[in-house]
Amino acid sequence: MSRRAVIIGTGHYLPDQVIDNSWFEDKLDTTDEWIRSRTGIERRHFAAEGQNTSDLAIRAARAALDKAGLQPDDLDGIILATSTPDFTFPAVATMVQAGLGMTRGFAFDVQAVCAGFVFALANADAMIRAGQASRLLVIGAETFSRIMDWTDRGTCVLFGDGAGAVVVEAQQGSGESTDRGILSSDLNSDGQYRELLHVDGGVSSTGTAGHLRMQGNLVFRHAVEKLARTAHTALDRAGLQPGDVDWLVPHQANMRIIAATAQKMQLPLEKVVLTVADHGNTSAASIPLALSVADGEGRFKPGDVIVTEAIGGGLSWGSVVLRW
């Protein structure tokens, strides 16, 4: 027998304000056609003034708890992935805890940029398997619109705001790959590439929040090479083959990266959950958003094998394999 972390509820929240690609056309030297053809992005949501990362996260968290049929105090803890916290501290997770009215357990943030949710989910799995927690809320929430340089056409057209959440619960499994729940994970970072994708401000350096800077074409090459590899490694650890995969739920950064990764995994695009056209890149929120959208549409069937994978600033990348 072994403890498994099983997803029992998903939820998401997207801010009301929808920004189409054409919004950028009179502000920058860009076109809807360029953005669509190079990225697959058609629109994204931006948080309203005064609407912070914790506000988005609380809405997503409530939706996931409702779906799981749980109350906030049924949880042992909250792990929240973000690179755009409301404040330097406290952790956004503690603000979600208070916002939900949760009076017990722990709450902390994880920062691995676009790979943040994968890192948070792998941590939740480790805590559940170690017996340190039985029910956890794992959230990805971002307001990347707050760190855009609106004069940089190479970055500001790519990102959006949003939040997604899942509730994971300890359940008994056999220890075999036929179990429901998280079967394996693979986490990696390589700080020598930190300059490729970074924010040029921070508390102990500039004292400002800074703006996102990216050498997009170099990140693109790393993404295509590293994402399929991490997915294969995690599948191997789970004792599964690419042919066993029912759904790929990738980080939604760029349609061309997603298609190249799916091709390397020999997966047809029908098996890939795609939200990049409507959400843009919501960094750590993109995978839980995609999970929640697909779950809400009833696309996952019990027993389906799902692979998630992401890469982001650090560089940090990884993947989680689970059975629905």
Please report, as residue ranges, which positions from 249 to 278 form the binding site for ligand ACO (by CB under 6 A): 253-254, 257
Q: Which one from 12, 211, 251, 279 is the annotated catalytic residue?
A: 251
AA identity, residue 188 = N
Among 34, 106, 108, 193, binds ligand ACO (CB under 6 A): 34
User: Is 240 among the residues that bind ligand ACO (CB under 6 A)?
Assistant: no
If the CB atoms of residues 25 and 244 are measured against ligand ACO, the closer one turns out to be 25
156 is catalytic: no
If the CB atoms of residues 38 and 43 are measured against ligand ACO, the closer one turns out to be 38
User: Is 219 among the residues that bind ligand ACO (CB under 6 A)?
Assistant: yes
- As measured in angstroms, the least distance from the Cβ of 258 to ligand ACO is 10
- As measured in angstroms, the least distance from the Cβ of 154 to ligand ACO is 4
If the CB atoms of residues 125 and 142 are measured against ligand ACO, the closer one turns out to be 142
Binding mask 109-138 for ligand ACO (x = CB under 6 A): ----xx------------------------
52 is catalytic: no
251 is catalytic: yes
Residues near ligand ACO (CB under 6 A):
30, 34-35, 38-39, 113-114, 153-154, 157, 197, 216-217, 219-220, 223, 253-254, 257, 281, 283, 311-313
Active site residues: 114, 251, 281
